[in-house]
Structures are given as C-alpha cells and as structure tokens.
Structure 1
C-alpha cells in the first residue's frame, strides 16, 4: 500500500538530529524522497544513510540557513538530484537562555544569532524553494513551539520566545498570501521534546525540566517521534483543507 507521501520530494532543515531527523525518517517511511539539510553535514549524512538503509531515497547537504546564497544553491542541488520539491519543513533552530537583564552584549549576540537562524533562516529557505513549491502546489510545515504563544515559566529566553512568536506570524501571513497558488502553510508547536538542543539543560537542571512537567497533563517530556504524526498529516492530502494554523504537540501544556 502506498504511503501518505508517496513520490513526493521533501526538504527538512535541521534534519541531522532531534525533531528534524525524526521527521525526515518518518517522511521517507511514508514514501517521500527526502533532502536532509543541516549545518552539520555529518549528522545530515547519518540521517540520509539511515533512510537509505531502510530502502528509502535520501540525500544530505550541509546548510547554514542563515546564509542566504547557500540556501538558493541548496535548492538548485536538491532539484538536480531529487526533482521538484513539494514539501518543505522549516525545522532548523537554535536556543540560548540568557535573560535580557544580563550582560547587554551577550544578550544582543544571542538575539542576533537566534533571529538569524529561527526567522531569517526560515525566510531564506522558504524563498529559495518557493518557485518549486508554487509549481507543485506544495506544503510548508514550520516548527514553532509552545513559546509561539506563551513565555514559559523559566523567564530567561526572551529572544527565543520572540523568534517563535515570529514563526507563527510568518506561517499565518504566508498561508494568506500563498493560498491562491494552492500552497498550504502550517506549523507545529512542540512542547518539551527530548532533543540534543536541550540535552545539557535536561542533564544539569532537573528543576527546569520539572517546571515543564508540572504544567504538562500527560506528565512526560515528548520524544522527537511524537512530532512525526502531525508533520506527516500536514504534508499529506489528509490535511488538504488545512492552512494557516498550528498543530500543538505539547502534551497539553497550554491547558494549565
């Protein structure tokens, strides 16, 4: 039986680890050909190798999404190797937790770096692949966060919260603009997911993790695989009348 993404060409940024890796593997399992893009080329290669070891089709390309020209070059290379892209997952992101009242220069550097990846990087990649997505009437899936709505109860991440609010705003604006072209744009809002991005915090600051768990009705942190189902749904024809929205995968965090 064909998969839900049979013969589609999907691009996943930040696909070398964590949520991006899980989505890339999940898309391949549903029949997509996958381009795994990551600033760490070795990590991207491992994800692509895992897909191919299971009979799927994948390529890996190193990409720093903050480098605009590199994004357009990657789009050309993906088209050359896999064909026209019909699914784009903007997953690449970084986080640093320094309070705005900390050293001004440190916070400014954090702010600039986070915006360069989480917002400007999303714009760069989207514009690079937009001609193909318009041609294929494709789908864009942006990875937001619970912090697309709330500033979590660990008040030291103003830059990250601002960037993830921006992801949701970008998603809605793009959906409104591209609907006439048949391009659907949605987002996913993960809660606390156990990924390399937060591994150090989880290992050294259990009290921070507990703050999240105390406000999560399901009582556990998520796994990267918990994001795959929503990502497949939003990329497939199952969501053919869904655009401009965010699917929360947060264990119920925002209910408390």
Structure 2
C-alpha cells in the first residue's frame, strides 16, 4: 500500500542536505516513486539525484523556481510535466509543500514589518502558488496535497515570540482545509502535518542535539502515509507530530 511505483511525487524545498525535504525525498525514493524536486536554489547536486535513484526512485528531475511567485510556479509545473513525459507521468499523484521557513519576530510592538512579510512570503505564498500551479495535474491523478503547518498554529500551541510564523502557518492550514473542501468533487485530498521541532541540521545547530525533536524519518513516513491509498478517506486533517 506504500508502493509508489508509476507515481509522480512533487516535493518543494529540498535544496539543503540534512533538512526534512531530503528525508521525505529519500522515503519516497525507497518506495519506488518518480520524483520532481523544486527549490529556489540551483544547489541540488547531481549526486543527490544519483543517490535517490540508487535508493529506488524510478526517475528524478530537479527544478529551480521562486515558488512565492505564481508565474514562476506555473512555469515550474509545466517544466515538471515535460521532464517526466517519457515516463507518461504527466499526472501528479502528490505534491508535498515543504518549502518555507521559521523565524522569531518577538513582541508585536517591536517586530520588524519586513520579517512579518517574509514569513508570509516563504510559508503561505509558496503554498498557495504551488497549489494553484499543480492543481490541474493533481486533479487528473485524483491525487493529494500534503502541507506543512506547525504546532504553534494549532489549538493549544504557543505562538509566543513567533506571531508572524504562527499566523502564516495558520494560513497554510486554512488553505489546506479549503483545498480539501473545494476539490473533494474532483477526488483530490489535502492534509497537513504540524510538527514540533524536527531534528534537522539547522535546528541542531541552533538548539543543540539534546532538544526534544521529531525525527526526520518519522515525518517522512507520515507524509508517505498521507499520500498513499491507506489515507484515501483522510482529507482536511492536521496531524500533530510531537
């Protein structure tokens, strides 16, 4: 049921090693998926593609795009379909919107308006533009979207010191619920994961190795579940990972 052979999975935000996007890509590769990896940087090395193929990925393509720009996201979606045309994978089984970022903005009366704008740009705008660009191909596959929220944006979560980040991730969760409702008639599902701190290279560098982390591989397993037939009746849900 977690076999993704003959399935095209699009993953955004996979540029840096040691981050969660890399673990998600590896998880899908091990399950035989074809992968389209999109990042704002061209630093996705050729050896990353070779590694994913050695793990079992049927085909891997890499793409550079500013996903906060709706036009560039549209271009990337067309490029992805072209790159996988020989595998007859013009339909997209799942889009995993990992692209985003975290930042403290402090007390509201002392916060930087540019920092507020940045959080919405990298988290919410990228999710919107990616969804809009890939929706036709996901509809064709009766596929799904998986979004990244945050526990700070869930009931009981604490947005203290990170109002911009929490507000942007709340927007992502609202977007997810809208897609789940609006696209149900087209057979499209949408869900989100809301992790606490994930053990990534960046988080370990910032917070040390002994913090209470969610392992990257655990996140990857949950994302694969949400993209699989096992979750065919799951839509509009937020899974808190702690």
**Fold match, TM over 0.5?**
yes
Preserved CA contact (<8 Å) 1:4 1:232: no
Structure 1 partner of 2:104: 97
Aligned-pair CA distance for 1:39: 1.7
Change (3 A) 1:78 1:142: same
1:8-27 superposed matches below 5 A: 8-17=7-16, 18-27=19-28
Structure 2 partner of 1:65: 67
Q: Give structure 1 stretches of 5+ with no counterpart.
A: 211-219, 251-256
Partner SS for 1:78:
helix
Preserved CA contact (<8 Å) 1:144 1:188: yes
Preserved CA contact (<8 Å) 1:36 1:48: no
Q: Give structure 2 stretches of 5+ with no counterpart.
A: none
Preserved CA contact (<8 Å) 1:36 1:61: yes
Structure 1 partner of 2:193: 188
Aligned-pair CA distance for 1:199: 4.0
How many residues align structurally? 234
Aligned-pair CA distance for 1:235: 0.4
CA distance in 1, matches of 2:44, 2:201: 12
Preserved CA contact (<8 Å) 2:152 2:159: no
1:8-157 superposed matches below 5 A: 8-17=7-16, 18-43=19-44, 45-56=46-57, 57-82=59-84, 83-84=89-90, 85-101=92-108, 103-104=110-111, 107-149=112-154, 155-157=160-162
Structure 1 partner of 2:167: 162
Preserved CA contact (<8 Å) 2:29 2:55: no
Instruction: Please report the RMSD computed on the Cα atoms of aligned residues, expressed in angstroms.
Output: 2.1
CA distance in 2, matches of 1:112, 1:154: 17
Among 221, 229, 237, the residue aligned to 2:221: 229
Change (3 A) 1:155 1:185: same
Preserved CA contact (<8 Å) 1:5 1:235: no
Deviations along 1:205-245, whole A, 9 cap, x unmatched? x9xx75xxxxxxxxx31221110111111101011110000
Higher RCO structure, 1 or 2 (CA under 8 Å, sep 6+):
2
User: TM-score, normalised to structure 2's length?
Assistant: 0.89
User: TM-score, normalised to structure 1's length?
Assistant: 0.84
Preserved CA contact (<8 Å) 1:44 1:61: no
Preserved CA contact (<8 Å) 2:97 2:127: yes
CA distance in 2, matches of 1:224, 1:40: 21
CA distance in 1, matches of 2:195, 2:152: 9
Aligned-pair CA distance for 1:190: 1.2
